[in-house]
Structure 1
């Protein structure tokens, strides 16, 4: 039964939860669907749980079911408005929130790392926002892309162009680690090294003007 964050008894922020961003629909190309199934198995096998956008559709539902079926912890965080599209699932625990901002903020709070599978505008937005948050030192957690079928090659090329143009520091282009297989993506969590030239900002106390 979905609950609000204020009433849930599931505030297990010490759990080893990995946040996964991905599509809320399946692909006609089964390679993407199977990558989602496999990532869930690999996360659970490595002792990780899942925090994700909730719902039972598409790659999101596949990852969640796979983690759950392999005895991993699953926490979905879903805005009320999206339950009519993505579904309110009984996979693991579900928290209902008021906005997309609340969803993303809470996923960051719960997650120890982030993995992006292929997806559309929403997945791209989540990946780029959490990458920006790393650059601004809002978090220092691993940001990993599962680059199935070279799906994110264009993003990697765009980042290289931005570095060449002087818009991204060369070190910060390494915030995102690209992996070809689910096994590599899960292994990259413990191997991840945060780039050194991020903005050294303090977000916990007021700063002098």
Structure 2
């Protein structure tokens, strides 16, 4: 585990616990000699975790589309900053540079990035660990919804287990470090419609 891609909000959120968790995740990563890969912004939780990694002497790599460089206030003090063409290139490069993924609290963009790498894992496109940092119960609703998806037979339990979660950064990083990938073949229910005469 040499690098983690962290998805998180461009806002700091409503509670200071989110910023505290970002700093604690940064410390845990630096202590474990794990470099940060993230969206390259200098605002919200994105800026907080990057600044803390750098302050503690770690490495932080940002990947940001040219169109968002000004909008998200691209972080110019990073170890490496990649300015790319679009969001597709951003997400592909972030995944390529990372040995695992963490979703901290964030908005729609964070969820979209999380579910994309989760889908890629389910389809066998990668075998890197994926974790939710469930700070302050932020992801309780999502975890409950995934249980509902399992019960309704749109997701198998073993596929859901590809996504791990913990409330504390140290616990989550330990889960990611000890994760052992397993292959779960995606199955399809084939329903044949009766011919209408």
* TM-score, normalised with respect to structure 1: 0.85
> Counterpart in 1 of 2:68?
82
- The equivalent of 1:68 in structure 2 is 54
Shift of 1:195: 4.0
Which of 48, 54, 60 is equivalent to 2:40? 54
2:127 alignment partner in structure 1: 140
Aligned twin of 2:194: none
Matched, 1:174 2:161: yes
Instruction: Note the alpha carbon deviations across 1:122-173, whole angstroms, 9 max, x for none.
Output: 0000011110000011110000110001111111111111111110011001
- Alignment of 1:97 with 2:110, yes or no, is no
Q: Does 1:45 align with 2:34?
A: no
Distance in 1 (alpha carbons) for counterparts of 2:163 and 2:39 = 20
Give the Å deviation of 1:188.
1.4
1:79-118 Cα shifts (integer Å, max 9, x gaps): 0111122112122210000110000000110100001100
Unaligned runs of 5+ in 1: 1-14, 201-209
Runs of 4+ that moved beyond 6 A: none
Residues of 2 paired with 1:65 and 1:28: CA distance? 20
How many residue pairs get aligned? The number is: 186
CA apart distance, 1:194: 2.5
Whether the 8 Å CA contact 1:134–1:198 is kept in 2: the answer is no
Aligned-residue offset at 1:199: 4.0
1:109 maps onto 2:109 in alignment: no
Asked which structure has the greater CA Rg, the reply is: 2
SS in 2 for 1:111: coil
**Preserved contact between residue 104 and residue 132 of structure 2 (Cα < 8 Å):** yes
1:205 aligns with none
The answer to whether the 8 A contact 2:124-2:183 is kept is: no
Aligned pairs for 1:157-196 (under 5 A) are 157-196=144-183
Question: Is contact 1:172–1:195 with CA below 8 Å preserved after alignment?
Answer: no
What is the CA distance between 1:41 and its match in structure 2? Answer: 0.9
Shift of 1:186: 1.4
Aligned-residue RMSD, C-alpha: 1.4
